[in-house]
Chain A
Amino acid sequence: MIDFPNFFNLPVAEGVDAAMSWMLRNMSGVFDAIGFVILLVVMAFEKIFLFIPWFIMIPLAGLAGWKLVGKWKTAISFMVMLLLVGTFGYWELAMITISLVIASVFFSLLMGIPLGIAMARNDRVENILKPILDAMQTMPSFVYLIPALMLFGMGKVPAMIATIIYAVPPVIRLTNVGIRTVDPEAVEASMAFGATPKQVLFDVQLPLAKPSIMVGINQTTMMALAMVVIGSMIGAKGLGMEVLLAINRIEVGRGFEAGLSIVFLAIIVDRITYSFSQKKEK
């Protein structure tokens, strides 16, 4: 075998490392501020979810299943699943995990929807973002943990940063696609009446792209849930941590219960966010 000549070795890894350490040295204030805001939001969600007692939360989930998904069977299955999570002894961890997911999704949408809009309105932005999004989607999820860990240390904040970045591509992509596939005559009609770009966006493009954006939100949420579980590797508390512990101690039963709880949460979250993407008949 002939070795690849090592003078061809481009110093990519060294470059990335250098950039990271430069950022650590010079921009720590910025990262602190970002971390602070993120922590504030996630703590707020956590407070709410831990404050609501289980005997109210479970009927609330049932109500959501009935009102949003529209079937009483769904409502009952939601309630049974949450009840099971409780009986496994994972209620609190499940609420923490959900808070992390919701907070991450909140930031993903805050970033992703405007980016999707920018991408839809400007071909150049689309040309730049598209390959980046493609690359992000093929990157293994735990790769995001490393820079997050380096910039923010251990804990909730780096786990959320990794989650936000990992989960944001679908909502960007589907906001873009949704807006770009809006009936061109509807957009033209709005413009023909002298609508400003902002009016066109809010009167026509966003409302008509809504189903597509909602599919994006659904996918983003599911990815966030998956990532939050992985995020427990760098110290975010929650159901993922339980799975991790179970693996380390080779406790199959415990791992199974924690894993099942994650699946239940995933099903509930998926059905609820999916229901938003379905057109409601008036």
Chain B
Amino acid sequence: MSDISNNNGPSGAQIIIKDLWKVFGRDPKRVLRKELREKSKDEIQKKTGCILAMRNINLEIQKGQFYILMGLSGSGKSTLIRNLIRLVNPTSGNITINGENITKMNHDQLLQFRRKTFGMVFQHYGLLPHLTVLDNAAYGLKVRGLPKGERYAKAMETLETVGLKGWEDYYPVSLSGGMQQRVGLARALTNEPEILLMDEPFSGLDPLIRRQMQDELVELQDKLQKTIVFVTHDLHEALKLGDRIAIMRNGELVQEGTPEEIVTKPADAYVEEFVRDASPAKVLTAGSIMEPPKVLLYAWEGPKTALTLLRSNKRNAAFVVDKNHILLGVAYDKALEKLLEEQKKPDKIPQAILKKITTTTEDTILEDLFPIIKAAPYPLPVVDEKGKLMGVVTTDQIFESISPLEGVNHD
């Protein structure tokens, strides 16, 4: 099965869901007929006894994305995530993963596909109570028929990754909820899957453990860069973890976008309700609120020009960049004046007189900016990974961008 190519279809997405429907009940296809398909979930249930779990879902998930599915209970999140691995079979529509239409696969192809592509983590852990932690973690490899030694070696590694070293020989019952879910995660990772499916993995945990697990998952994802499809009820969890969020209601996809889009531009009242208590400080990033600096000095223009510029703008300091717009530091008027009093006037602003400063990056959320900006006497420069100055953020800007959002629901 190793010859399956990795082409990701014309749109380049790793998971492409097209016109996906799921109806539970007898003779589900009849619900797709013209006279029924537009009807509401309740009406369909009254008329046919069938339960509409997903209605015409279309979405794409890119490789390496942390993709969140949100929605109230019964909105079809679990059904959707189970369709990806065909634990639930769609009533109609197509799912393409890594360029392969999985809805067309026969049983054997499906087993192979599950084995090599997926790892899944469940809300109630789904561990096998009669097996030790080690055997649980190695279970995916056992299914594949790997010899014991190899299985255990791999499983030991992942157990260590999730911080369960030393617990191999215990049985799941003797572990706390958080630790059991680590076993669940280890079991999913041992297979080295391309795609991790997580159905409310942290819902059963205490808030503190939950936050800790979230942090660790973020860290892990930074390292592993898997594609993750993650179901949650918890907006804060979604905002903290997700690259993109899809919101479902009664089996329909209501809105899909980045956390910021969802929070700042909710598509309807349902989504608004969801994001009502979202703190913008947790969603908005430095990149989204930064502005160009009012005064910018170029190192090659020399101290004289710089000083003139500062004075005409009534400032006593400004950022200095080089030709490639790389941030060099802050130049103060005093230092520039001193430079001009010297015999040999430099034609460039020398690095020596510049003050080094703290910077931030575009994807830093506002919440994380508070402690930095409190200590800084000037606007906070936002730079990219090369050190190029992208813009600046001021305390005023931060507070401005947080406050109007509070009233987003009141019109």
Contact = CB atoms under 8 A, between A and B. Distances in A.
A185 B114 CA distance: 16
A189 B143 contact: no
A51 interface: no
Contacts of B375: none
Interface centre among B114, B119, B128, B142 (most CB of A within 10 A): B128
Contacts of A70: none
A193 B124 contact: no
Interface in B170-189: 171, 184, 187
Nearest to A192: B120
A185 B197 CA distance: 13
A175 to B, nearest CB: 17
A189 B122 CA distance: 8
B85 to A, nearest CB: 6
B292 to A, nearest CB: 50
B202 interface: no
A199 interface: yes
A186 B187 CA distance: 12
B139 A194 contact: no
26 contacts: A185-B123, A186-B127, A186-B128, A188-B82, A188-B122, A188-B126, A189-B122, A189-B127, A189-B128, A190-B128, A191-B87, A192-B85, A192-B118, A192-B120, A193-B139, A193-B140, A193-B143, A193-B191, A194-B113, A194-B115, A194-B143, A195-B143, A203-B139, A203-B142, A204-B128, A208-B128
A59 B26 CA distance: 60
A134 interface: no
B126 A183 contact: yes
B144 to A, nearest CB: 7
Interface string B359-394: 000000000000000000000000000000000000
A168 B197 CA distance: 42
B139 A190 contact: yes
B314 interface: no
Contacts of B128: 186, 189-190, 203-204, 207-208
Contacts of B112: 194
Contacts of B323: none
A71 interface: no
A190 B143 contact: yes
Interface of A: 183, 185-186, 188-196, 199, 203-204, 207-208, 282
Interface in B117-140: 118-120, 122-130, 139-140
Contact of B125 (A185, A199, A208, A282): A185
Interface in B43-80: none
A207 B123 contact: no
Contact of A185 (B111, B122, B142, B143): B122
Interface centre among A188, A192, A196 (most CB of B within 10 A): A192
Contacts of A199: 143
A108 to B, nearest CB: 25
Contacts of B123: 185
Interface centre among A193, A199, A203 (most CB of B within 10 A): A193
Contacts of A185: 122-126
A190 B85 CA distance: 12
Contacts of B115: 193-194
Contacts of B139: 189-190, 193, 203
Interface in B258-278: none
B181 to A, nearest CB: 12
Contact of A194 (B130, B144, B171, B187): B144
B146 to A, nearest CB: 12
A193 B139 CA distance: 8
Given A189-B139, A194-B113, A204-B128, 7 more contacts: A186-B127, A188-B126, A192-B85, A192-B120, A193-B118, A195-B143, A207-B128
Nearest to B115: A194
A236 to B, nearest CB: 39
Nearest to B120: A192
A195 B112 CA distance: 9
A193 B121 CA distance: 11
A192 B120 CA distance: 7
Nearest to A197: B107
A118 to B, nearest CB: 19
A189 to B, nearest CB: 4
A194 B115 CA distance: 5
Contacts of B122: 185, 188-189
A204 B129 CA distance: 9
Contacts of B197: 192
A24 B73 CA distance: 61
Interface centre among B111, B143, B191 (most CB of A within 10 A): B143
